[in-house]
């Protein structure tokens, strides 16, 4: 059978299937369960400087076939409380990546220093939340701010830094290039797409915050396009995100240029058993297509098209 271990941003992963931030990441126990179920690494919820309650309900609208719309508002216990959850996951042997969000470069750097002390192997910067005012994509849509934040964090901590790229901008690949200039070890792409759902009976948006972020199968072609374009602009590794529900989805992202992927919405729908199933499907598909290693598939579609 093909070898599934890969390296991404200098991190040794037992397979390329990562638990995406925000899914099963509220507690150390849930992170540990995702690891035990077969995730190659687990990414925490996005953690801020202070506790944040998030938005009032309703915060999620699910669609059976094509995904999920959410506007959670970045709820989290704050960096002062969350390290104990990371300790639980690390105690289970998990490879843990810490996700953080902030309002400016200084706050990101301060959070990164605190997160680095917890024992995580890398830090993912949430530069792309589409529904939290003052955070996320408001910073992540500006290449100059992306470069500034990434440089501040890489100067502050010795860990690999992963910049999560928004699709809600004119040039996501340009944002990835800015992250590379700032010293990012990798980028993850994409985060959710800004979207809206309407309740026609009540004549108003379904989500309390009105606008939310769309994830799931509907955004996979957009995610693939962004990964493809980013691969042509940067030399650092890419983690593909968006609509991954099968082994073939993973392989498409790898061939588009990703070294690993993050899985979120499918885990929310199916549970953590998704990791084992998708891993088996990927292994079988790699073998059928003649790949000895998952890493051999990275960028294969670029090589074929010249």
Catalytic residues: 129
Could you tell me the sign of the dihedral formed by the alpha carbons of 36, 10, 43, 218, in that order? negative
| Residue from 252, 116, 230 nearest 165 by CA | 230
Q: What are the structure tokens assigned to 219, written together?
A: 């955004």
Cα angle vertex 129, ends 123, 46, to 5°?
A: 40
Place of tokens 């040039």: 171
The Cα-based distances of 293 to 5, 126, 186 in angstroms read 8, 30, 20
CA dist 302 and 298 (Å) reads 9
Neighbours of 281 (CB within 10 A): 17
21: Cα within 13 Å, side-chain hemisphere: 31
- Of 240, 254, 241, the C-alpha closest to 282 is 254
Distance CA 273, CA 266 (A): 10
CA angle 87, 243, 78 (to 5 degrees): 30
> Which residue's structure tokens are 């498409």?
252
Q: Residue 69 has which token pair? A: 């719309």
């Amino acid at each position: 059978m093909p070898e599934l271990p890969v390296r991404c941003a200098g991190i040794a992963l037992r397979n390329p299937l990562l638990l995406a931030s925000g899914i099963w990441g509220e507690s150390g126990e849930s992170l540990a369960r995702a690891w035990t179920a077969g995730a190659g690494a687990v990414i925490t919820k996005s953690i801020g400087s202070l506790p944040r309650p998030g938005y009032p309900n309703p915060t999620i609208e699910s669609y059976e076939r094509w995904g999920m719309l959410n506007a959670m508002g970045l709820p989290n216990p704050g960096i002062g409380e969350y390290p104990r959850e990371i300790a639980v996951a690390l105690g289970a042997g998990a490879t843990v990546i810490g996700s953080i969000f902030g309002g400016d470069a200084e706050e990101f750097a301060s959070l990164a220093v605190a997160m680095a002390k917890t024992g995580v192997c890398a830090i993912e910067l949430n530069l792309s939340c589409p529904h939290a005012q003052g955070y996320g994509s408001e910073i992540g849509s500006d290449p100059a701010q992306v470069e500034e934040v990434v440089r501040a964090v890489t100067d502050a901590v010795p860990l690999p830094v992963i910049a999560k790229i928004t699709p809600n901008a004119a040039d996501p690949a340009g944002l990835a290039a800015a992250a590379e200039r700032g010293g990012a070890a990798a980028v993850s792409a994409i985060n959710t797409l800004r979207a809206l759902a309407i309740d026609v009976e009540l004549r108003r948006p379904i989500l309390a915050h009105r606008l939310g972020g769309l994830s799931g199968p509907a955004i996979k072609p957009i995610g693939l396009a962004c990964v493809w374009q980013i691969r042509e602009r940067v030399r650092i590794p890419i983690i593909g995100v968006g609509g991954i529900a099968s082994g073939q989805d993973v392989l498409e992202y790898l061939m588009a240029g990703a070294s690993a992927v993050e899985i979120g919405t499918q885990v929310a729908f199916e549970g953590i058993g998704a990791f084992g199933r998708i891993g088996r499907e990927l292994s079988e598909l790699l073998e059928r297509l003649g790949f000895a290693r998952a890493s051999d598939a990275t960028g294969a579609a670029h090589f074929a098209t010249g």
